[in-house]
Amino acid sequence: MRFPVLIIVAFALTFSIAVLPLPMGAQPAKPKSLAFFGRVESVDSEKKIITVKHGKIAGYIDSGTDFSVDEAGVLNQLRPADNIRATVYPNDLTLHQIHVVYRSAGDKTSKK
């Protein structure tokens, strides 16, 4: 007689845990952002893509490649040879929050 009671109790506990709602306002965790530093090799404003040479970034790709940008307006500010910093996310080839950290003084096309 004890065995059927244990099965019923186990079933009741399992069922009650399975139907408990998630906490109010619970959202899936955001992916971890990564700091990105690199040198602009080329800018293609028409395709909205920049090619950036960069070193290995743990949890991200290993070498330079083409990236899309989250803000199209930044393409007008970038020049080949600019050193940039940005934010990236794993499994995403989009650069976010791009900032030029160094532009050579000999760049006649730089905007001030």
Map out the domains of the chain as residue ranges.
34-102
pLDDT at position 30, please? 72
pLDDT digit string (tens) for 2-50?
566 666 666 665 655 555 555 666 666 778 899 999 999 999 999 999 9
Sort 84 into a burial class: Cβ within 10 Å, 0-12 / 13-18 / 19+: buried
Q: What pLDDT, in 10s, does the model give residues 40-79?
A: 999 999 999 999 999 888 878 777 789 999 998 999 999 9
Report the distance separating Cα 15 and Cα 108, nearest Å: 70
Model confidence band, residue 110 (pLDDT cutoffs 50, 70, 90): very low
Residue 85, CA atoms < 13 Å, CB-side half-sphere:
5
**CATH topology classification for 34-102:** OB fold (Dihydrolipoamide Acetyltransferase, E2P) (2.40.50)
